[in-house]
């Protein structure tokens, strides 16, 4: 298990760029890292967090368990929703488009499209009035996923 110190040189993008670095939360992310794996990027996405490491992409989601007669949900940490070997990706594109069914301020879909030899995987970064992933951050993320990071 890796602790929060593993994230000292990690880039925090999107809505995480100005968020407080909570050591407890980072240690929960670290539980999913292999002993030789280095986290490179943390990006909040719709419904979870994308963790890009030097080996894999992990889409993490909060794990909630129902307790008691009132169906109170208790946070139990994070689970891996999807995991990909980073070497599988050939392309990474950033797509910003109008939401198919705009509701309230959710007029824009901010999406990552990850291309593999077998097709594409989409990750919704955010739905809102404007995109949350800056182009400079996208460039950093694309380079990390495609193996062009230092």
**Per residue in 57-116, pLDDT tens?**
999 998 777 777 777 777 777 889 999 999 999 999 999 998 777 777 778 899 999 999
- What residue has token string 């992409």? 57
Give the 3-state secondary structure of the chain: CCCHHHHCCCEECHHHHHCCCCHHHHHHHHCCCCCCCCEEEEEEECCEEEEEECCEEEEEEEEEEEECCCCEEEEEEEEEEEEEEHHHEEEEEEEEEEEEEEECCEEEEEEEEEEECCEEEEEEEEEECCCCCCHHHHHHHHHHHCCCCC
pTM score: 0.85
> What is the rounded distance in angstroms from the CA atom of residue 97 to the CA atom of residue 80?
27
**Per residue in 17-46, pLDDT tens?**
877 778 888 888 888 899 899 999 999 999
> What is the rounded distance in angstroms from the CA atom of residue 136 to the CA atom of residue 105?
24
Confidence of residue 1 (pLDDT cuts 50, 70, 90): low
- What's the pLDDT at 150? 47
Q: Domain boundaries in the chain?
A: 4-145
**Per residue in 2-19, pLDDT tens?**
778 889 899 999 988 877
CB 86 within 8 A of CB 57: yes
**Per residue in 138-148, pLDDT tens?**
999 999 999 87
């Amino acid at each position: 298990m890796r602790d929060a110190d593993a994230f000292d040189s990690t880039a925090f993008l999107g809505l995480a760029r100005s968020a407080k670095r909570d050591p407890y939360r980072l240690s929960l992310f670290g539980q999913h890292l292999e002993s030789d794996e280095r986290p490179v990027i943390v990006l909040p996405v719709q419904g979870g967090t994308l963790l890009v490491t030097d080996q894999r992409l992990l889409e993490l989601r909060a794990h909630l368990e129902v307790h008691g007669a009132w169906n109170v949900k208790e946070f139990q940490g994070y689970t891996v929703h999807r995991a990909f070997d980073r070497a599988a990706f050939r392309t990474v594109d950033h797509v910003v488009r109008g939401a198919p069914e705009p509701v309230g301020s959710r007029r824009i879909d901010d999406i990552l499209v990850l291309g593999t030899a077998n097709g594409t995987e989409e990750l919704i970064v955010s739905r809102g009035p404007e995109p949350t992933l800056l182009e400079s951050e996208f460039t950093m993320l694309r380079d990390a996923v495609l193996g062009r990071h230092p």
